[in-house]
Amino acid sequence: MIVRYSDGTYSYNCYQIPVPMKAGEFPRDRIESWNWTSIPLNRESIGKNGDKNTIQYKSFQAVGNEFDDVFYDDGKGEAGDLVCLKDIDDSTIKLCLVYCKGAIGGKISGEIDNFYTVCGQT
């Protein structure tokens, strides 16, 4: 049995295992900005009918060509809205999990609830 603690450490049998929690800063130059003007920001899911006027489809268009396979996995217990795989070499497969969320009220804002919704996804 594994017991996980709020500070990131965990216990396994009689051992407490420390986990370094220093994430550091994410480089600004790695942040991409996409143009969302044609997409309603409250329409997240492609759905079973394959709705192309959604956040998920726009995200698929943005990353789809970078990967060999992209799986649409929208639902409870999902790994990500899009699960992307690329065969790099004989021993490496690149995995990218894309999470999509609609904006509250369908508009960009400084509301903290939008931030909490995205962060609560993982």
Question: Cα Rg for the chain, rounded, in angstroms?
Answer: 18
Domain count of the fold of the chain? 1
What pTM, to 2 d.p., does this model score?
0.71
Q: pLDDT per position in the chain (122 positions), as tens?
A: 778 787 778 887 778 888 776 777 889 999 888 888 899 999 999 988 889 999 999 999 999 999 999 998 877 778 888 999 999 999 999 999 998 888 888 888 888 888 887 777 65
Q: Give Cβ neighbours of residue 11 (< 8 Å, ≥ 6 apart).
A: 2, 3, 5, 17
Q: What's the domain range around 108?
A: 39-122
Which of helix, strand or coil describes residue 57?
Answer: helix
Q: In what order do the strands lie in the sheet with 92-98?
A: 69-72, 82-89, 92-98
Please report whether residue 20 resides in a domain. no
Q: Give Cβ neighbours of residue 3 (< 8 Å, ≥ 6 apart).
A: 10, 11
Please report whether residue 75 resides in a domain. yes
Phi, psi dihedral angles at 16 (to 5 degrees): -105, 125
Residue 31 C-alpha from the chain's centroid: 14
CA-wise closest residue to 101 among 51, 59, 63: 59
Please report whether residue 78 resides in a domain. yes
Please report whether residue 48 resides in a domain. yes
